[in-house]
Amino acid sequence: MPSPLDPPCNAGWRYRRRCEFVIKARFGDLEVLTRFPPGEPRPIPLLFVHGAYAGAWCWDEHFLQYFAQEAGYAAYALSLRGHGRSPGREYLDSFSIADYVNDVAAVVAELPAAPVLIGHSMGGMVVQKYLERAAVPAAVLMCAVPPQGLFASAVGLAIKKPGLLGELNRLLGGGRVALDALREALFAQPLPADLMRRYYRLSQPESHRAIWDMTLFDLPHPGAVRRVPMLVLGAEFDHLIPASLVEMTARTYGVEAEIFSGMGHGLMLEQDWAQVARRMQIWLESIGI
């Protein structure tokens, strides 16, 4: 009889020594990248939700392996519909934040236990909207779109970084952008040129509808968001979701924000990513997860 922590039989898993590493799985049509520890995983899994212009790949660079190998968690990262290798790219502009929340719910329903949800940027907004529907053991918001939406961020970019805002709008529509613009948007620390080129190739357009939802039409209702243990993280040199907005998010949910000095928006890809992962691990263990 399979263990309740074994993967579902319809997931299409690739094994290496009893799930020591599980490279890719399917939950329905959604792409889910997964890594397991060498031994029995902790009872509560982790589910990572990516931000705009990205996919599950951004978590598999460092975080999935760290949390599986170093911390003992079953670590999952999904590609929302229209992202990564999940279907629907041709219909991307029709997808809403509610659709993305439905994707998270579909994966949560297939996991062996309710997971900790970890959302970055747009994924942080998706996590907040999921918490309007259901509770989870804990949540981590990393450089998350605040419950007040993207308007303040857009105004700040228009004033301080108008060129960067224009480049992001070009990427939103599927146009080519300068590598230096992507570097400025995501990173404050040095990054090898070959890695920057690879991240650029993996980047993609985003749903215009989802962007409008995060700006105005489908913002979280803080009173409806379940008050689960929450860790709110930001970056000192984040041009997209500045530290001031991260602190506003934390105040909304009654917690203290933690801002990583010398880092940019792409916390999970920055040179000092391990500092972020280790802080998350310490926090999870402090609340008994």
- Segment 229-237 shows an average pLDDT of 98
Question: Has residue 18 got a pLDDT over 70?
Answer: no
Is the pLDDT confidence value at 130 over 80? yes
CATH architecture, domain 25-286:
3-Layer(aba) Sandwich (3.40)
**Average pLDDT for 126-148:** 98
Q: b/e map of 86-118 (b: 16 or more CB within 10 Å)?
A: bebeeebbebebebbbbbbeebbebbbebbbbb
Rounded Cα gap, residues 289 and 280, in angstroms: 11
- As beta bridge partners, residue 117 has 47, 139
Per DSSP (E only), the strands in the chain are 25-27, 30-35, 46-49, 75-78, 116-120, 139-142, 230-235, 257-260
pLDDT at 23: 44
Question: Tell me, what's the pLDDT at 28?
Answer: 76
Whether 159 shows a pLDDT value over 80: the answer reads no
Q: Report the alpha-carbon distance of residue 141 to residue 283 in Å, rounded.
A: 13
Choose between 79 and 181: higher pLDDT.
79
What average pLDDT does range 23-30 have in this prediction? 68
What does the pLDDT look like over 92-118, one tens digit per residue? 999 999 999 999 999 999 999 999 999
Structure tokens at 59: 């978590």
Asked if residues 66 and 136 have their Cβ atoms less than 8 Å apart, the reply is: no
**Average pLDDT for residues 193-203, to the nearest whole number?**
92
Residue type, 256: E
Instruction: Give me the chain's average pLDDT, please.
Output: 88
Spatial distance between the Cα atoms of 25 and 106, rounded to a whole number of angstroms: 14
For residue 245, the SS3 value is helix
DSSP assignment, residue 234? E
Instruction: Give dist(CA 37, CA 170) in Å, integer.
Output: 40
pTM: 0.89
Residue 10 confidence (pLDDT) above 50? no
pLDDT of residue 11: 39
Gap between the Cα atoms of 69 and 72, Å rounded: 6
Whether the pLDDT of residue 203 is over 70: the answer is yes
For residues 194-203, average pLDDT: 92
Provide the residue ranges of all domains of the chain, joining segments of one domain with +. Answer: 25-286
- C-alpha pair distances (Å), 69 with each of 26, 99, 223, 225: 22, 32, 37, 32
For residue 179, the model assigns a pLDDT of 74
More confident residue, 233 or 169: 233
Each residue's pLDDT tens digit, 209-230? 999 999 999 999 999 999 999 9
Residues above pLDDT 90, as percent of the chain = 76
Q: Average pLDDT in the 270-277 region?
A: 98
